């Protein structure tokens, strides 16, 4: 009896003295994040990588690729979403890693300011090429991997799709297009078992507005350009304003929620404050009421509208369970 007890104790000690088993990399869900070098994309990459995902972080510049590649649970991948060759190469790279792919977060985006009456076709099409055609190219290319994993894909949209602002029409147009693209893709891929969503942020800290200013000053959005003293003052002012904004953590949290919840939503808001959140809802309600009142033959009464809202709330609350 003593020898049996001793043997059991010795075996138990050996087991307890072994180092903790690390999670096999093949069991970790992999996610591709485009536009991961800074701002919202970087925040999403860091958040997901720290919460159990393996992230393929898309970027264009060598220095960004090197920096991203040094992060834990992150592999950088060269990816310009306007170049089909880059997209195809990224698919080959991700496939070769052997992890599969559970999610795609289409974050890469650009913006430019200018009155719609004066702005050039080139300027608007440049924004469309990245903000709308980019997700189209990426989702189309990675669809076989998403279908295999029954995974999820989302676009980082913008509340600018709902809140019009003078000078931001070109950008708002692309983000509004991303909304209908997302809704249509969700219908088309539901039968394939792939879940689609869109996450609409407010004005968080990012380098996007710095790039907008750079493009207005030089004609190019790249931040590593040589500037005159006057141009540097303008950029410094933009950077100072940007430093006052909140970090984009809420956007990263919504992205994580979309990827992990049992009942992902089609639409997520990541407003930067309560005032903006309420303004978006009020704007959408105003739009709905204007449409309702515009065709007298089909106008819903107040009671009918209230019932419709109550029914929608019941469904929304059911989706939370």
| Helix 133-149 vs helix 84-97: crossing angle, to nearest 10 | 20
Quick one: which of 131, 35, 21 has its CA closest to 78?
35
Catalytic status, residue 128: no
Give the active site residue among 171, 181, 268, 298: 171
Q: Is 279 exposed, middle or buried (0-12, 13-18, 19+ CB in 10 A)?
A: middle
Q: How far apart are CA 318 and CA 165, in angstroms?
A: 35
152: Cβ–Cβ under 8 A, 6 or more apart, which residues?
Answer: 102, 103, 104, 146, 194, 195, 196, 197, 258, 259, 264
DSSP per-residue codes, 121-181 = HHHHHHHHHHHTHHHHHHHHHHHHHHHHHT-EEEEE--GGGTS--TT-HHHHHHHHHHHHH
Q: Is 114 left (phi over 0), alpha (psi -120 to 50) or beta?
A: left
**Tokens representing 291?**
């449409």
Order of strands, sheet of 195-201, starting from the edge strand that comes earlier in the sequence: 74-78, 54-59, 30-33, 103-106, 152-156, 195-201, 267-270
Of 262, 134, 142, 258, which Cα lies nearest the Cα of 192? Answer: 142
The catalytic residue positions are 171
């Amino acid at each position: 009896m003593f020898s049996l007890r001793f043997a059991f104790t010795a075996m138990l000690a050996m087991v307890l003295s072994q180092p903790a088993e690390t999670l096999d990399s093949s069991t970790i869900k992999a996610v591709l994040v485009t536009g991961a070098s800074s701002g919202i994309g970087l925040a999403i990459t860091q958040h997901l990588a720290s919460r159990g995902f393996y992230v393929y972080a898309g970027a264009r510049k060598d220095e960004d690729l090197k920096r991203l590649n040094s992060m834990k649970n992150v592999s950088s991948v060269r990816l310009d979403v306007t170049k089909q060759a880059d997209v195809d190469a990224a698919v080959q790279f991700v496939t070769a890693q052997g992890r599969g792919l559970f999610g795609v977060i289409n974050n890469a985006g650009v913006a430019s300011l200018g009155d719609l009456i004066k702005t050039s076709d080139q300027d608007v099409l440049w924004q469309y090429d990245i903000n709308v055609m980019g997700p189209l190219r990426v989702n189309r290319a990675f669809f076989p991997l998403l279908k295999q994993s029954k995974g999820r894909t989302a676009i980082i949209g913008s509340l600018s799709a709902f809140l019009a602002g003078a000078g931001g029409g070109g950008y708002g147009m692309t983000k509004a297009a991303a909304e209908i693209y997302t809704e249509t893709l969700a219908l088309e891929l539901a039968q394939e078992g792939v879940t689609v969503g869109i996450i609409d942020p407010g004005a968080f800290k990012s380098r996007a507005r710095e790039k907008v200013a750079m493009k207005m000053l030089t004609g190019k959005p790249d931040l590593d350009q040589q500037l005159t003293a006057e141009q540097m003052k303008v950029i410094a002012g933009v950077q100072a304003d940007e430093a006052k904004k909140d970090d984009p953590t809420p956007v990263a949290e919504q992205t994580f929620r979309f990827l992990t919840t049992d009942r992902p939503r089609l639409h997520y808001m990541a407003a930067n404050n309560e005032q903006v959140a309420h303004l978006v809802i009020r704007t959408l309600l105003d739009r709905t009421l204007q449409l309702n009142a515009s065709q007298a033959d089909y106008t819903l009464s107040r009671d009918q509208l209230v019932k419709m809202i109550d029914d929608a709330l019941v469904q929304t609350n059911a989706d939370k369970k």
